[in-house]
Structure 1
Amino acid sequence: MNLKKMTLNINGADRMFICDPEKDTLASVLRRLGLTGTKVGCGTGVCGACSVILDGKVIRSCTRKIKNVKEYSSVMTIEGIGTVLNPHPLQYAWVHLGAVQCGFCVPGFIVSAYQLLLDNPNPTREDVRDWFQKHRNVCRCTGYKQIVDAVMEAAAIMRGEKTFDDITYDWSKDVGDFYGKPLIRPNAMPKACGVCDYGDDVELHMPEETLKVELVQPRKYSHAKIINIDCSEAEKMPGVVKIVTAEDVKGANRLMTYAFSERTVEMQQAHHVLAEDEILYYGDVVALVCADTRAHAKAAADAVKVELEPLPEYMNYLEAVTPDAEKIHDWMPDTYGKNIYSELPVLKGDHEKVPEIIGDAAYSVEGSFYSSREPHMSIEGDVMQAYYDEDDNLCIHCKTMTLYFDRDEIAEAIGVPVEKLRVIENPTGGSFGWAMSAHTYSMVGMAAKVTGMPCSLSMDYGQFMAVSGKRSPAYFNAKLACDKDGMFVAGEFDAGLDHGPFLELGDDKLTKISRFMFYPYYMPNVVGLSRVAATNHSFGTAYRGYGAPQAFTCSEALVDMLAEKAGIDPFEIRYKNIARPGQDNLNQYPFLHYPMEEMMDKLKPMYEEAVAKAKAESTDEIKKGVGIAWGGYNVGLGAVDEAHVAIELMPGDRPKFRKYDTWQDQGQGGDQGSLICTLEALKPYFPDVTPDDIKLIQTDSKYCPNTGESAGSRSHYANGKASIVAAKNIADAMRKPDGTYRTYDEMVAEGIPTRYDGDWATADEYDCFYDLDPNDGSGNPTYTYTYALFLAEVDVETATGKTTCTGMTCIYWIGKPGNIQAVEGQVNGGISHAIGFALSENYDDLKKHANMLGAGVPYIKDVPDKLVSVDVGGTDPRGPFGSSGASEAFQSSDHMAVINAINNAVGVRVHELPATPDKIKAGMEALAKGEPNPNAPEPYFLGSDLYDAIEEIKNNPLTPSKPENLEFGSLGKEGVQWK
């Protein structure tokens, strides 16, 4: 190895370093020098997280080899722009305008914007968008709007037209009334200054003896028998300490299994951590190489020889359920058909006559639809560490969004007592749901357990895309009918969900299809069936919306199709059919709220203006269209939901508090949310408490009780409920007989504890919760809901079929927002994902879709600057402080507003997502020739005839569970103890 001494002028100072100019990149050198604000996301120059300024030009440093950097060049990184104590206007604006969410992309954006403002001190919004498009800066959280806002405000400050005070929310004027206000995230400024340590940064701060772990991931077949794993040569290579295979974790190596539905087959533990006898999907890992350096570990991983024998690959639901398909899991019974392991019916109204009602209706439509395998594409991939801590507990740092749930899973998988396992969430560069899986966290735990040494597991982006779960694809055959006035009379649907080779959560996701099909309309008569099958593609995992986007892909298309057939405006047919007070949902329970009419009234003038504008501005070259879609989501995990927090009084004469919880922050603002819930919960007793009086201790199982999952749009609701209890408990303890409150010193002097728990459970508060009945789908398994109504505006190029979304409006009801800035961030971020889901995002082709660019991540010019969000107001009487929940409604059905707008523009309906230019172009050409739409598939075979399956269910009734009999605390503060 021939090394070179080089000097670069970095952030104004000459820095000398020794490097390998053939292997080192500018990013790797900067990070080795301690400048970890330069983040590496994709590693291939397509995300911009690693942006630095080299000799006055913004470059992506992860692909710039040092051999291509001239000595004594000038380099500017985020650390040279500003500090936490002395931020640059760009950093200040990012923090105060809500442009920081997960924060991983932020240093790259700010560095890029810094050069923009040097070149152009007075840019337009379109100048800013063009700049970030050119430099490939990707944000997966914000939807970009707040980022452009921040650049514009920073530019005004730098020109002397504004000051920091002009863009600062002054909370001092609102003491005692913070709820709903835009309090900034406590961790936002460190993220904006590049000093927040994410997973790869944590690795750099670990002791010298920390082993680096690399995956042996063949990525050759999606289904294969493992004939042999030969580690003999790799084990002899420099620096290799141990190569861990499934043989090293005998008796463990499996994640837990559990069923959510009575109509789920009796499942075995199908989810292995390290492949044992078979490769079940493309990303399967067969071994872990543990070595002294990352380079040594990578070299040894490449040297492991894996002999495989190909087996039949079933790469989607349709292939897996064909009559001649073989079982992916030999143990799975044929209860519901080949590879199908759960089903859930919906039978409502005069369901036995639904075919007859549809046949006799004035208007009816039918169609088949495919909701695609959407990749999450967080900018930061999957990085984690493990070591034995000061209490001899195995400690795992990772990106968990379900800390105690994952702790239980990891303990099961690696064979350690759960009480000897500690889990900590690292600062997290986004996940949007995939971080719920303990799959990879278990791997680093295995490495540390087997070697007895601290370990850090990192992976390149291709490995991450292959190994991580994705949104479950779904196939639908469905019908919808209305009378002559446009009132719905009956609906029918048959759904097949593709959940990959690992089965957990698949049956739970079916409940979302059964609840959000035709939401929030009144449907008097329905026959529906949802089923889930194992396949050999990526395993299905959580993704914002969790099952609801699949349902809306079908139902919101049918509503538009029916409107067109009946000659009714798409807005009007929805207005006629939204549920009104007293009308029930698909599961035969009342909607808990009825804001739908008010929301549509709010949207109507916007819709009419958009329609008129599209009609006036369409040309032969660019056709403009408008589409709408109803959406929404439930809040909470239903009858078994719990949350636990603690509040502790801190020393001092003025009441100051520590708040302990596991509100896992994936970028949505767990710290921001916990802060406002704590302030509001303490307000009745300590009205003068301020943000400076609250110190948050979060997401470490050693110190924090189990607040539950950052999922199901439940965090604000559940944390708020538990915070109310904790605040009352500590106030009661502090209160003197005369009504005043003891100080910390007085509490200690009187021997009164200073820390108090807050425990809350749905089973304790609500006495009417029913999981969906396995016989007819009736039930009430949630404690509240959210509602969202979307209006999309699109341009379609007639020459190419390329579609651009030019505007998206979201009218929403979430009760009372706790922090309006956080809510708007979730609205815009959800919309950006939904636009990608509609038009470009996919993880079907395992090679083409292996990085962000190939998988269709939306860049800034793919997301409109016109993002409008309107809260119709109101409060939720069930929720804490009048709040319901947020996040998932904002990525529920907005993709269908885009699909409907395309049809409105050019008369082409895309039935199978995403709506790529080739599909739209083919549709336009067929329409011009008077030929059938090539995008409308024939009905799918989903395992059996719908009505045959329904008849089988009727002949085999099951006893539904009644969760109201649960006792408070049955899941425990220490996490769910699954059997």
Structure 2
Amino acid sequence: MALRKICININGVDRMLICNPGQDSLADVLRRTGLTGTKLGCKTGQCGSCSVLLDGKVVRSCVRKIKDIPDYSKVVTIEGIGTPTNLHPLQQAWITYGGVQCGFCSPGFIMSAKGLLDKNPNPTREEVRHWFTIHRNACRCTGWKPLVDAVMAAAKVMRGEATMEDITFQTPADGRIYGTNVPRPAALAKVTGLCDFGDDIGLKMPDGTLHLALVQPGLSHAKIKGINFSEAEKMPGVVKVITAKDIKGTNRIMLPVTHPRSKADGFERPIIADTKVFRYGDVVAVVAADTEEHARAAAKKVKLDMEELPRYMSYLDAVAPGAMEIHEGIPNEYLRAPLFKGEDTREVLAKSPYVVEGSFYSTSQPHLVIEPDVTQAYIDEAGNVCIHNKTLATVFPLLTLAPGLGLPDGKIRVIENPTGASFGYSISPASSALAAACTLALDAPVTLTMSYAEHQAFSGKRAAHYSNARMGCDKEGKITGFEFDFAYDHGAYTEMADILASKAIRFAGFSYNIPNVRALARVGFSNQTYGTAYRSYGNSQAYTMSEQMVDMLAEKAGTDPFEFRYKNLARPGDLNINSYPFKEYPFVTLMDKLKPLYEEAKARAKAEDTPEKRRGVGIAFGGYNVTGGPNDHGEVALELNEDGTVTNYNTWEDQGQGGDVGTLVLTHESLRPLHLDYTQIKLVQNDTAQCPQTGPAGANRSHYIAGNAIRDAAKKLLDAMRKADGTYRTYAEMVAEGIPTKYLGVCDTTDITKDLDPNTGIGDPTPEYNYAVFFAEVEVDTAIGKTKILSMKMIYDIGAIGSQQAVEGQAYGALTHSMGFALSEKYIDNKDYNSLIKCGFLYADDIPDDIYLESVPSPRKTAPFGSVGCCEGFQSAGHVAVLNAIYNAAGVRIYDLPASPDKVKAALEAKALGKELKPDKYFLGSDLFEALDEIAENPVSAAGPTMAL
């Protein structure tokens, strides 16, 4: 191998480097020197996380080969523009204006922005957005608006029109930070490039660490007849090829499905495929070698003997007559959850003067994180298998992996690495299981960095859905009845299927007073990738159906969709579709706030509408549960330290949504009597050996569960510190008096909730909800069918706000995910959906700068300081507002997501011929009422406790 010596001026200093010119990229070389602020995401030039300045120009260093860079070129990285004690204005602005959520993309964005401001010190907002688009800077967290805000603020400082103090958070005079824009504790490390994410940790592991590479056959359904790795094991640097035979336990991920109507138990998923592969991304072997390059080269030499089986790439295919069982002994449709409310809808709708029906599909949506999956594993000093990755549920590997790995309970430790976002997919313990199995088989530490294509194939996605529905109203426009048959395509595995099944029968028609409902939620297998958690888990699919049905019924009744909704909103005394009162009744208030915005936009759309560019508006109501279920439980510990500071120990996993700042504001508020500065609160988070289990960062539960547990621990600590005269003991006084200085706080929802009855769907599983109404303005280009979103608005109720910056950041990000879900994003389990662009990722130019948010809080009885979680509700139904706006603009309804230009254009062409493109009623496995009658005739006992999500 011929090497090259090169001199590059890096951050103002000439550096002599030895490189492999045929292989190394500029990013590789920079990271080898320790400059890991240059992040590697996609490694194909689509995400911009690796952006640096090369001779003054922004380049994506992952695709800039070192052989093409001349000697003495000048390179500036994030480490070269500022330090933690001397920040660049862009770095400070990113902290202050919410540019940091997960922070993985922040260094690349900041360097790209510096390249812009060096060239154009006074850009417009549109120029900033376009710059990020043409330089392929991709962010999945922030929704772009906070990033543009940060650039505009930093530019003022750089032009001398403002000072650094002007763009730095100032603590309020009373010292209270709850409800403010107090910065995230982790933000400083992220904007300076000093935060080590998974691949950075892998790069810095000690000698003896082995690198792993996956062997994925890339087949959707096949028997494994043989694996020949003799040639692979002879490759340079290879230590071992690990297969299912090397796993000492059951080789199963034990994540149970506990719904009493489920015909699957949840134990069908292998850690490493042993007899069959069930989807394109399954892993049949893992190669361990001294370097990643050696491991990947050897993985290509593993020879597989596979017998392909029939592929069922959708739920509809899998439940069609004659389809074989994907998992032997389990029917492909394995779970049915019913809902009965009021009278039989067949009779009700037969008497209703206005009735509409429709069939709907929503695609399998990819999370499109910027950091692909990375995991490390090793044996720690206590003999535990210690797993590091980007999990949002540190508890899941503890509960699901020991039997599969052949370990005794209690011998697994989980640590969350700094995480480049997840949005739900990392709840799965699958990559944890792989790395743990390999470290046990090798008796050595391991690190696994997936390529973006491997990550896309391996990780779960939002489950696709199919639904048939009917809805009717009376002559006054009041909804009389609603029936729907709803199927989730859960793909290859059952992960959390029982929880998913509950979502449609809880949230379809949410917000409205609907007296009579008959419904069924089905869950089934296919050979698509498995369905997993994604923000607004299960709900966005339900709203895809129900919020379009509401618009359709409004039109049938000859009523404006706003007025129709307003008339049917739930008011005090009305019951939800599960026959319980709503927790709050904020619906009318939210719509009242939206009304003037709606009227203005309607008038604007009418004035600016042309035959070539049709303008329209759309509304959708959404919301989500807060906490995971009737048995939700979480714990937090607070400890008074010798120096008077307080440490919070918890596993509030931080995926970028703000687990650190949430902990900070809740702890500071709970300990206000001590008059602590917020910098006196220390955080120890997301290490199961050090922290009590606070539970998964999902289901809007963390702020509620962790917050109530923090308040409980704070009360115990304050009670212990309080003297008879009302003053508080010091640490030394506590120790002298033999009073403990550490207290465990607990939150449990068991006594204030009631699970859904598996025979009727009646129940009250969660103590709180959040609520939102979404509004979209769109323009449809009738020549090509392309939809442009002009503005999005969201009026929401999450109670009081703990961190203004975190809440608004979640809102902006969630709305952009919703826009992508509506217009472009999809995933099919094959080689063609292996990148951001191929999956329909929207860049800054595709997202409107006009995003309006307004909080209208109502009191929460059981929530900490009256505040509940937000992010799931924020992504619940914005996509349907876009779909309804397309119909309002162009008169065509898109029944199957995404509403891509080809679909819209085809619908417009059909309309011109007097036709409507709409799917026929889906066959979901049986007739709806036959299935409901069978359920009524065969009641089951309620399920036992499940893991709350």
In 2: Cα distance, 1:161 partner to 1:296 partner:
53
Q: How does 1:498-513 map to 2 (within 5 A)?
A: 498-513=489-504
Q: Quick one: distance in 2 between partners of 1:792 and 1:584? A: 28
Instruction: Report deviation, 1:268.
Output: 5.5
Could you tell me the TM-score, scaled by structure 1's length? 0.96
Counterpart pick for 2:713 among 720, 726, 735:
726
TM-score, length-scaled by structure 2:
0.99
Match of 2:924 in 1: 942
Structure 2: how far apart are the matches of 1:260 and 1:822? Answer: 34
What is the CA distance between 1:958 and its match in structure 2? Answer: 1.8
SS in 1 for 2:874: helix
Q: In structure 1, what residue type is equivalent to 2:481?
A: A
Contact 1:406–1:436 under 8 Å retained in 2: no
Aligned pairs (5 A) from 1:711-860: 711-763=698-750, 766-767=751-752, 769-844=753-828, 846-860=830-844
Distance 1:347 1:369 in 2: 22
Given that residues 460 and 529 in structure 2 are in contact (C-alpha distance below 8 angstroms), is that contact kept between their aligned partners in structure 1?
Answer: yes
More displaced, 315-324 or 49-58?
A: 49-58
Residue correspondence of structure 1 range 921-936 to structure 2 within 5 A: 921-930=905-914, 932-934=915-917, 936=918
Q: Which residue of 2 aligns with 1:274?
A: 272
Tell me how far 1:793 sits from its aligned partner: 0.8
* 1:562 corresponding residue in structure 2: 553
Corresponding position of 1:329: 327
Q: Which amino acid aligns with 1:933?
A: E
Structure 2 CA distance, aligned partners of 1:669 and 1:91? 18
- Tell me the residue number matched to 1:658: 647
C-alpha distance after superposition, 1:13-45 (max 9, x if no partner): 111111111110111111111110111111111
Q: Given residue 630 of structure 2, which amino acid in structure 1 is its aligned partner?
A: A
2:465 equivalent to 1:474: yes
Q: Aligned residue for 2:24?
A: 24
Matched, 1:347 2:340: yes
The answer to whether the 8 Å contact 2:248/2:405 transfers is no
Partner of 1:79: 79
**Is the Cα contact below 8 Å between 2:255 and 2:400 reproduced in 1?**
no
Whole-Å Cα distance in 1 between the matches of residues 886 and 266 of structure 2?
Answer: 44
- Aligned partner of 1:213 in structure 2 is 212
Match of 1:689 among 658, 663, 676: 676
CA contact (8 A) 1:364 1:480 kept: yes
Q: Per the alignment, in what secondary structure is the counterpart of residue 150 of structure 1? A: helix
CA deviations 1:482-506 (Å, max 9, x no partner) are: 1111110011100111111111311
Q: 1:341 is aligned with what amino acid?
A: Y
In the TM superposition, what whole-angstrom CA distance separates every residue of 1:340-359 from its partner, at most 9, and x where no partner exists? 111111111112xx123212
One-letter amino acid matched to 2:691: C
Q: Any idea what the Cα deviations from partners look like across 1:845-894, whole Å, max 9, x if unmatched?
A: 62222111100111111111011110012321221111122110010000
Which 5+ residue runs of structure 1 have no aligned equivalent?
A: 333-337, 964-970
Query: Helix, strand or coil: the match of 1:263?
Result: coil
Letter in 2 for 1:134: I
Equivalent residue, structure 2, for 1:966:
none
Paired residues of 2:38 and 2:78 also in contact (CA < 8 A): yes
Q: Which residue of the partner structure matches residue 870 of structure 2? A: 886
User: In the alignment, is residue 178 of structure 1 matched against residue 177 of structure 2?
Assistant: yes
Give the letter for the 2:647 counterpart. Answer: R
Aligned partners of 1:260 and 1:508 also within 8 Å: no
Cα drift, residue 682 of structure 1: 1.2
Matched residue SS, 2:630: helix
Question: Cα deviations across residues 159-216 of structure 1 (Å, max 9, x unaligned)?
Answer: 11111222333114131x3221111100101101111000000011111211001111
Please tell me the residue identity of whatever aligns with 2:815.
I
Q: Residue by residue, what CA displacement relative to the aligned partner does 1:36-65 show, whole Å, maximum 9, x if unpaired?
A: 011111111111111111112111111111
Listed one character per residue, the Cα deviations across residues 86-142 of structure 1 (whole Å, up to 9, x for unaligned) are: 110000000001110000011110000001001100000001011001101110000
Amino acid at match of 1:694: I
* 1:544-559 paired onto structure 2 within 5 Å: 544-559=535-550
8 Å CA contact retained: 1:121, 1:159: yes
Q: Report the Cα distance in structure 1 between the residues aligned to 2:255 and 2:814, rounded to whole angstroms.
A: 30
1:254/1:271 contact within 8 Å kept: yes
**Do structure 1's residue 388 and structure 2's residue 370 form an aligned pair?**
no
Contact (CA 8 Å) 2:794, 2:853: kept in 1 or not?
yes
Pick from 506, 520, 523 the counterpart of residue 529 of structure 1: 520
Equivalent residue runs for 1:581-600 within 5 Å: 581-600=572-591
**Mean Cα deviation higher: 556-565 or 111-120:** 556-565
Structure 1 residues 487-498: aligned runs within 5 Å: 487-498=478-489
SS in 2 for 1:787: strand
SS of aligned partner of 2:399: helix
- Structure 1 residue aligned with 2:199: 200
Out of 299, 314, 317, the position equivalent to 2:315 is 317
1:670 counterpart (643, 653, 659): 659
* Alpha carbons 2:638, 2:743 under 8 Å: kept: yes
Cα distance per residue 1:328-381 (max 9 Å; x no partner): 11121xxxxx41111111111112xx1232122121110100011000011001
Distance 2:809 2:202 in 1: 30
Deviations 1:557-582 (A, max 9, x none): 11111111211101010000010000
Matched residue type, 1:265: K
CA contact (8 A) 1:91 1:110 kept: yes
Deviation sequence 1:430-478 (CA, Å, 0-9, x none): 0000000010111111111111111101110000000000000000000
Post-superposition offset of 1:638? 1.6
Correspondence for 1:400 among 391, 394, 412: 391
Secondary structure of the corresponding residue to residue 173 of structure 2: helix
- Cα root mean square deviation, aligned: 1.4
Instruction: Give distance in 2, aligned partners of 1:849 and 1:556.
Output: 29
Separation in structure 2 between the aligned mates of residue 357 and residue 729 of structure 1, nearest angstrom: 55
Separation of aligned partners in 1, 2:335 and 2:805: 40
Preserved CA contact (<8 Å) 2:551 2:561? yes
Tell me by how many angstroms 1:742 deviates: 1.6
Task: Report if aligned partners of 2:258, 2:943 keep a CA contact under 8 Å in 1.
Answer: no
Pairwise CA distance, 1:961: 4.8
2:876 corresponds to which letter in structure 1? S
Hey, what's the Cα distance between the residues in 1 that align with 2:943 and 2:664? Answer: 37
State the 1:66 CA deviation. 1.1
- For the residues of structure 2 that align with 1:620 and 1:940, how far apart are their CA atoms? 34
Unaligned runs of 5+ in 2: none
Equivalent positions of 1:145-294 (< 5 A) are 145-175=145-175, 177-219=176-218, 221-267=219-265, 269-294=267-292
Matched, 1:680 2:663: no
Query: SS of the counterpart of 2:391?
Result: coil
The answer to whether the aligner puts 1:456 opposite 2:456 as a matched pair is no
Task: Report deviation, 1:619.
Answer: 1.9
The range that moved more, 916-925 or 951-960, is 951-960
Matching residue's letter, 1:402: A
Counterpart of 1:40 in structure 2 is: 40
Q: Quick check: 1:515–1:587 contact (8 Å CA) kept in 2?
A: yes
Counterpart for residue 940 of structure 2: 958
C-alpha distance 956-97 of structure 1, shift in aligned 2 (>3 A)? same
**What's the counterpart of residue 902 of structure 1?**
886
8 Å Cα contact 2:772/2:794 also seen in 1: yes
- CA deviation profile, 1:893-921 (whole Å, cap 9, x unmatched): 00000011111110110000000000000
1:435 to 422, 426, 435: 426
Q: Which amino acid aligns with 1:503?
A: T
Give the partner amino acid of 1:189: L
Match of 1:541 in 2: 532
Aligned letter for 2:386?
A: C
> Shift of the alpha carbon at 1:743?
1.1
Q: Is the 8 Å Cα contact of residues 373 and 473 (structure 1) preserved in structure 2?
A: yes
Secondary structure of 1:919's counterpart equals: helix
- Residue deviations 1:894-953, cap 9 Å, x none? 0000011111110110000000000000111111121x222x100000000111111111
Partner-residue secondary structure (3-state), 1:418: coil
CA distance in 2, matches of 1:646, 1:106: 32
